[in-house]
Amino acid sequence: MAQQHRILEASTLSAALSKSSALRAVLEEHRSVRNRSIEKVGPVMKGRLVATNKRLGVPRREGERKASNLAVSNCDGSFYIVNVKIGGQSLPVIIDTGSSDLWVDSSLCDGTCTSSSISRYDASRSSTFRPVEATKSDFHIEYMDDTIVKGTLGFETLRLGDIEITNQVFAQASSVINNTKLCNEVGLLGLGLGEISSQNFPALLSNLKEQQITMFSLYLTDHNDYQLFMNKTTDIAHPIPGPPPASAESEFTVGGVNPKRYRNCLRWHELGQFRAKGKAFKGYWDFALDGVKVGSTEIPSSSLAMVDSGTTLSISSRETVGRIAKKLGVKCFVCTDSVEDFLEEVQCDDPFGYDFAATYCSETESSTSLTFVADGKSYHLTSSELFREIEVDSHSPICTLNLEGVPGFPGWLLGMNFLRKYYTVFDFGRKRLGFAEATTNSATVCKADSSYFIHDIPDDAKTITSTPSASPTSYYTPTPHYATSSNKDVSGALSGFVFFVAGSFAGFLFVGFFCVGLAIGYRQQARAPTTKGYLQVRTTDPEECTREVELSPLR
């Protein structure tokens, strides 16, 4: 009887999902692991040209921190946009901590560029542009979602708020293939370390370091800063393109931290945990985990974690995410060959994985949490970060799981649902990450962090000296689990839409096809630089819904 009830309940959930136009919008925001460029895949990097970027840094007075606080706009939960100035021209670009290149659409763009011609960079309007030597000027990046960016390297004056970087290398894109703009973005600002840059000149962080600027921080909110319009053809809401709104609530702080945006004190973790073929591979914002838990239950997991502002969900191996989904009690579905009923419920820890996980919101417990333990400190994702509610006509609200399992993924990629919960400081001077719980306007400030503040502490501010200790956290030394496990749950609710997963990491390309509803303008297709592995393929053919396969290593 219990089994019959479970089948009936899953069938009801499937039917609700199949009729949900709101689900399509949610899927549009399910941004999985972005594709790295081919030139950055794997631990073997191309020979690097040792170049010096000469400039006159602005001297700072003793005790003065050179910093700038920039407003950041949330593009419908897909990515975050900041306005920078290149050669005096204001350009909205995507913030990406998972790559190190700066490129923008330019006046050289051909018909493949979809940005407005008036919003592109134009070297002829700049007095500070300087071309790169012709033999070293080609810029060409191919992303795993078939996006190809070609252009020409040059040097320019880059302004991040009040901070000016002269002779910053960047690419003028002349061709951007298979990339459709979602908001008004015209390029990408890479904030990764220089080791993962695709070109042989100093990356942005290296140039900032020359000015004694050694950190930046992100305060990301879930407030959507763009108005939406409904596409009558696809019945999907899209942002209205335009300049970043003045009401943007998120922040990108260069050169320090904003103490108003977090509670208690920062907790620090050293970088350099990612190893490939037995060797340390630097360049990512990574740190070591002591353990991962759901509630009080320990989940075997990789000890590696990376934070990435270009990934919406949090990502791990299929096996790890499957175990977590099962423990959380969600229902998992896989695609079937049936034309009438595309979704079939499976166990969440099925070795072949699952395509979609959901449950009724009433069944998500507020006390449910996914905990990451690092250096004895705990970071919790509660139900508000783990689930997203969608409205379903004439049915109870349904919540989707904000975790993604990728076959063979060697660790954790902590995306926007983690970064919105925790104010994050990227210290490239000391090679470390700092976390503290984010808040809109903190009532207290931490004295221990005062040397990083971008402004003085008010005389009447309440101060603390350390983060209050919580109850002792038990943790364990995990054994890496890098491969195939996760349950599969297929729900007829998502018929006709195939979700192509092309996850590239550490030299391997993983491809999967997922049936998850009607074809939509999925951001991975539209946003190649910020997609690290997932691409939509439009189809209504259920036969194209296949299992994941692993392709040969990229050379």
**Residues carrying an active site annotation:** 96, 308
* Residue 533 DSSP symbol: B
Q: How far is residue 410 from each of residues 61, 118, 281, 350, 432, measured CA to CA in Å?
A: 45, 42, 13, 19, 20
Query: Rounded CA gap, 353 and 323, in Å?
Result: 10
Asked if residues 477 and 300 have their Cβ atoms less than 8 Å apart, the reply is no
Q: Which candidate, 173, 410, 151, 150, places its Cα nearest to that of 305? A: 410
SS3 readout for 269-293: EECCCCEECCEECCCCCEEECCEEE
Please give the distance of CA 423 from its chain centroid, rounded to a whole number: 15
Please give the distance of CA 306 from its chain centroid, rounded to a whole number: 10
Query: Rounded CA gap, 448 and 266, in Å?
Result: 8
59 contact partners, CB below 8 Å, separation of at least 6: none
459 contact partners, CB below 8 Å, separation of at least 6: none
Tokens describing residue 61: 């007075």
The neighbour count for residue 135, using CB atoms within 10 Å, is 6
Exposure letters 284-313 (e unless 16+ CB within 10 A, then b): bbbbbbbbbbbeeebbebbbbbbbbbbbbb
Asked if residues 326 and 347 have their Cβ atoms less than 8 Å apart, the reply is yes
Tokens describing residue 485: 């496990």
In sign, the C-alpha dihedral spanning 468, 286, 370, 30 is positive
Q: Write the single-letter amino acid at 170.
A: F
**Coarse DSSP helix, strand, coil percentages of the chain, rounded to the nearest 5 percent:** 15, 35, 45
Q: Which candidate, 51, 485, 107, places its Cα nearest to that of 301? A: 485
Asked if residues 182 and 527 have their Cβ atoms less than 8 Å apart, the reply is yes
Q: Which candidate, 407, 435, 404, 408, places its Cα nearest to that of 419? A: 435
Query: Rounded CA gap, 370 and 353, in Å?
Result: 20
